[in-house]
Each structure stands twice: as C-alpha cells, then as structure tokens.
C-alpha cells in the first residue's frame, strides 16, 4: 500500500494543542515497525490554485497566499498564520488528490495528513484552512476518475465544512458520526449525521457506526470513499468527550474497511484531529488506522 507524505506537512504551529509534529512521528513509527517501507512513501505536489478554487473562493485563496487575512479570520482558523502553514495545506490537498488516484488503483491508500473537514469555501476554522478532501473529490471528478464519492467522517467533531460544501451535490454523500455536545455549533446537515451522547464507549460507538455505514452504503453507491479517521474519539482526548479505547478505535477502522470491502469500494484515509494528552497515543491511533488499511490494499 502506498502512503503519501512529506516533512512539509508540519503546520508550523509551535506550542499548540494541535500536535502537527504527529505527521512525522506517525510516518517514523510506520517505517520503524515495517508497516510501510520508504519505497512505499510518495511525496505529494501541492494542489494547483485552480484545484483549490473548485472548492474555495478566489478572494479567500488570495488572502491566504498574500498574508492579508484579517485578525478575526486568523482567530477563527485557530492556528497561527505562516507561509509554512499555507504551503502545508496546499500540499495536504495535493496529497489527498494523489492518495485518491492510488486508492483507485490499489483499493486503499493513505494521505498522512488532511481530513481538514472544518474548512469552508470562504474561511478556515477549527484548525482547518483548506478542505483537502473536497478539493480531491472535485479534481478526481473533473478528471473523470470518479463520478460519485462518499465521506465517512469518524472524527469526534462533526464535519461541518464537508456538509456545507456538498449540501446540494447529489454526487457526494456525506456521513458524519460525532459527539453532539461539542464543536462545531451549529452543525450543517450531512446526508447522514449520527449524534452521540457524551461518554459513548466502544460498544455504543461501534453499534451506531455499523448502522450508519449500512444505511449510507444502502442509499448511495460511491466510486471512492474518503475516510476522515480522526483520532479524537479516544477517551484520553483533550478536545473530545467520547470514551473509546485504542482497541475500539482499531475495531472502528476495521469496520469501515470491511463494510466498504464488501461493496468493492476503494478508500482513501486522511488523518484529521487527535489531541490525546500524550502525543504518542495520537500517533499510535493514526498508525493503527494505517495498519488496518494495509490489510485491505492490494
Ligand atoms: Zn476533531
């Protein structure tokens, strides 16, 4: 299985609750434990501005490139602005495009970044600047590589940007399973939203996920699935209020892959959030997702 990664994925956030060093640490763990070899790792190109503009407004793109966002706009992103940040999110979008192409070939591929599901066409929020998954879907559709896509969003926070971007698009089905009493407020409707109570554990989560996946896959037949595999449903997460164990999260990953395997649908993994008290836990959860994905790739 191929993995898309570059050291420039680091968002240059300094001391921040978002541990953007996790991208490099996850890659190093995967290589150290021989889940992937260096030869399986591909460097992305940054997405083109035209690719970005299929999702985002030119006005916003120009502000990002020129560094002319207002103070309020930067506050809303909740990450410090820098040219490295802009470079990283353009690369993350290019990485999701590349991982999409690889998944169509191999059944599964991983972008070791991305899942920036809180980005909107005209603004960034919740640590998300550019919606890499939406950019990738639009580009793959434009190339004729896919017609229909589905997002399966298992981050603890609802995929508000995804829901908004694809709200009137019959070619993209959006499914999000998340903690109800948590950011974002409000939550624009996905095609299917599952709102979980605070403290939901492995069994409650997995039962709800199974129902959600079955319903989504019965309603809609995508050519490709983008799995937004947030590590933040973990019980030790600082920004999440669910109670999944590390084993439960791996069972979650396996359920997503088994159900989509049964339908013969290729999958792209993106990482999204993860704010465990110990960064090693976040890294372990992301690495586990890649371990499961590899079992299902050719
Ligand atoms: Zn999250």
For residue 220, pLDDT beyond 90: yes
pLDDT digits (tens, 9 = 90+) for 142-189: 999 999 999 999 999 999 999 999 999 999 999 999 999 999 999 999
Residue 169 CA to ligand 1 center (angstroms) comes to 24
Mean pLDDT of 127-143: 98
Q: Which domains does the chain have, with CATH numbers?
A: 2-295 (3.40.800.20)
39 C-alpha vs ligand 1 centroid, how far in Å?
Answer: 31
* 258 Cα: distance to centroid of ligand 1 (angstroms): 23
Strands, sheet with 149-153, edge to edge from the N-terminal-most edge strand: 41-42, 3-4, 108-111, 267-270, 224-228, 149-153, 172-179, 192-196
Whole-number Å distance, alpha carbon 57 to ligand 1 midpoint, is: 24
Ramachandran angles phi, psi of 196, nearest 5°: -95, 150
187-199 pLDDT per residue, tens: 999 999 999 999 9
The whole-angstrom separation of Cα 109 and Cα 117 is 19
Average pLDDT value for residue range 30-46: 97
CA of 225 to the centre of ligand 1 (A): 19
173: which strand partners? Answer: 150
Q: Ligand 1 centroid vs 131 CA: distance in angstroms?
A: 14
* Per-residue confidence band for 298, with pLDDT thresholds at 50, 70 and 90: confident
- Predicted TM-score (pTM) above 0.95: yes
Q: What is the pLDDT of residues 272-284, one digit of tens each?
A: 999 999 999 999 9
E strands, the chain, where?
3-4, 41-42, 108-111, 149-153, 172-179, 192-196, 224-228, 267-270
* E strand intervals along 47-161: 108-111, 149-153
Written as six digits, the tokens of 41 are 């790792």
């Amino acid at each position: 299985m191929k993995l898309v990664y570059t050291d420039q994925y680091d968002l240059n956030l300094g001391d921040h609750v978002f541990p953007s060093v996790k991208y490099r640490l996850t890659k190093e763990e995967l290589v150290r434990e021989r889940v992937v070899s260096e030869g399986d790792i591909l460097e992305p190109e940054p997405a083109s501005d035209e690719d970005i503009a299929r999702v985002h407004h030119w006005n916003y793109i120009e502000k990002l490139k020129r560094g002319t966002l207002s103070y309020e706009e930067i506050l809303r992103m909740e990450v410090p602005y820098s040219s490295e940040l802009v470079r990283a999110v353009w690369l993350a979008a290019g990485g999701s495009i590349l991982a999409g192409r690889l998944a169509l070939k191999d059944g599964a591929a991983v972008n070791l970044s991305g899942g920036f599901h809180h980005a909107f066409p005209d603004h960034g929020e919740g640590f998300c600047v550019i919606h890499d998954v939406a950019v990738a879907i639009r580009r793959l559709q434009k190339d004729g590589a896919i017609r229909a896509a589905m997002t399966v969003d298992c981050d603890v926070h609802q995929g508000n940007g995804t829901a908004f971007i694809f709200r009137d698009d019959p070619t993209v089905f959006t499914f999000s399973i998340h903690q109800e009493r948590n950011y974002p407020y409000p939550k624009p409707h996905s095609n299917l939203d599952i709102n979980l109570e605070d403290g939901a554990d492995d069994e409650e989560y997995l039962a709800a996920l199974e129902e959600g996946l079955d319903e989504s896959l019965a309603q809609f037949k995508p050519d490709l699935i983008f799995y937004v595999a947030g590590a933040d449903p973990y019980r030790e997460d600082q920004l999440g209020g669910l109670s999944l164990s590390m084993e439960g999260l791996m069972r979650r990953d396996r359920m997503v892959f088994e159900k989509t395997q049964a339908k013969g649908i290729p999958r792209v993994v993106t990482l999204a959030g993860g704010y465990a008290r110990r960064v090693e836990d976040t890294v372990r959860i992301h690495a586990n997702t890649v371990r499961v994905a590899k079992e299902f790739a050719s």
